[in-house]
A = this chain, B = another copy of it.
Amino acid sequence: MKTKILAKLRDEKGYVSGQALCNEFGVSRTAIWKAINRLKQEGYEIEAVQNKGYRLVNVPEILSQKELLSIRKTQWLGNEIIYYDEVDSTNNAAKRLAEEGYGHGTIVVSDAQTGGRGRRGRSWSSPAGVGIWMTYILRPEQLLPANASMITLVMGLAVAKGLEEATDTHVSIKWPNDIVMNGKKVCGTLTEMSAQMDYINYLVVGSGINVFNKEFPQELSEKATSLYIETKKEFHRAEIIETIAEKFEEYYDIFMQTEDMSRLKNEYNDMLVNRGGQVRVEGRESFDGNARGINERGELIVDTWEARRLVSSGEVSVRGVYGYV
Contact = CB atoms under 8 A, between A and B. Distances in A.
A249 B116 CA distance: 35
7 contacts: A142-B314, A145-B149, A148-B197, A192-B201, A195-B195, A198-B313, A198-B316
Given A191-B197, A193-B194, 8 more contacts: A119-B199, A120-B196, A142-B314, A148-B197, A190-B196, A192-B194, A193-B196, A198-B316
Contact of A193 (B145, B176, B190): B145
A6 B91 CA distance: 45
Interface string A159-184: 00000000000000000100000000
Contacts of A176: 197
A307 interface: no
A190 B198 CA distance: 11
Tell me if A's interface is mostly helix, strand, loop or mixed. mixed
Contacts of A199: 119-120
Interface of A: 119-120, 142, 144-146, 148-149, 152, 176, 190-199, 201, 313-316
Which of A119, A145, A197, A314 lies at the interface centre, i.e. has the most chain B CB atoms within 10 A of its CB? A197
A195 to B, nearest CB: 5
Contacts of A195: 192-193, 195
Contacts of A191: 196-197
Contacts of A314: 142, 144, 198
Copies in the complex: 2
Contacts of A190: 196
Contact of A119 (B142, B193, B196): B196
Contacts of A119: 196, 199
A216 to B, nearest CB: 25
Contacts of A193: 145, 193-197
Contacts of A196: 119-120, 190-193
A281 to B, nearest CB: 13
A161 B196 CA distance: 24
A198 B190 CA distance: 11
A206 B84 CA distance: 35
A144 B313 CA distance: 8
A291 to B, nearest CB: 18
A5 to B, nearest CB: 41
Contacts of A142: 314-315
Contacts of A315: 142, 198
Contacts of A152: 197
Contact of A146 (B120, B146, B316): B146
A192 B198 CA distance: 10
Contacts of A313: 144-146, 197-198
A238 B146 CA distance: 36
A196 B203 CA distance: 9
Contacts of A144: 313-314
A178 B142 CA distance: 22
